[in-house]
Copies of this chain bind each other. A is one copy, B any other.
Amino acid sequence: MSTPTAIDFWFDFSSPYAYIANEWIDALAARHGRPVRRHAILLGVTFQAAELKSPVSYPLKRDYAWRDFDRSARFAGVPFHRPEPFPLATHLAARVFWWLQDTHGEAAATAWTHTAFRAVFTRNVPINDPVALRQLVSEAGLDAAQAQAAWNDPLWKDRLRAENDAAIALGVFGAPFFRVDGEPFWGNDRQEQLARWLQTGGF
């Protein structure tokens, strides 16, 4: 038998909907015998390419967006606490992800996504701040000095930039964004369609 192809999952650590999806994607994938391949990206870059903005940047949409983030988290059974200020810069945490992915492996990188997302969306940890990020890395049992060296290293800066470019080239314009066997799904609210697609091989 051939190896089942992965579900690609793109996220930015400042996306509330990606935080929620990060909590359910592994169980859904496992039910269908699929691995998950995570991609930390920077939404600011893809928004710029797509001429989009964050939903909270539109006046009429802002109040609804915060209400919907919170309600969608409750609907999924995931704790949610509104971070302030928002959005926050996530390039350091994203570089930590790629450093872990390439040097510690997929499991360590995945664990980091849970650590960083939960820190932002349940404890208001400012992961854009190097001091707070060092502490978070330590709490996660990683070497803070190594992590900081990595997030300042051009190697991981370039890695993140290349992943952003690759995502944009594949048509990724928001988060969470998924691809299954070439089929794109955008949004935490595409969970049901993604599940049916995995179940049926397309509909």
Contact = CB atoms under 8 A, between A and B. Distances in A.
Copies of this chain present in the complex amount to 2
Interface stretch (A35-43, A55-63, A80-88): A55-63
B196 A64 contact: no
Interface of A: 46, 49-52, 58-61, 63-64, 67-68, 71-72, 74-75, 168, 171, 173, 184, 186-187, 189-190, 192-193, 196, 203
A41 to B, nearest CB: 13
A60 B49 contact: yes
A189 to B, nearest CB: 4
Contacts of A189: 187, 189-190
B60 A192 contact: no
A56 B91 CA distance: 29
Nearest to A50: B60
16 contacts: A49-B60, A51-B59, A51-B60, A52-B58, A52-B60, A58-B173, A60-B171, A61-B173, A64-B186, A67-B184, A71-B193, A75-B192, A75-B193, A75-B196, A187-B189, A189-B190
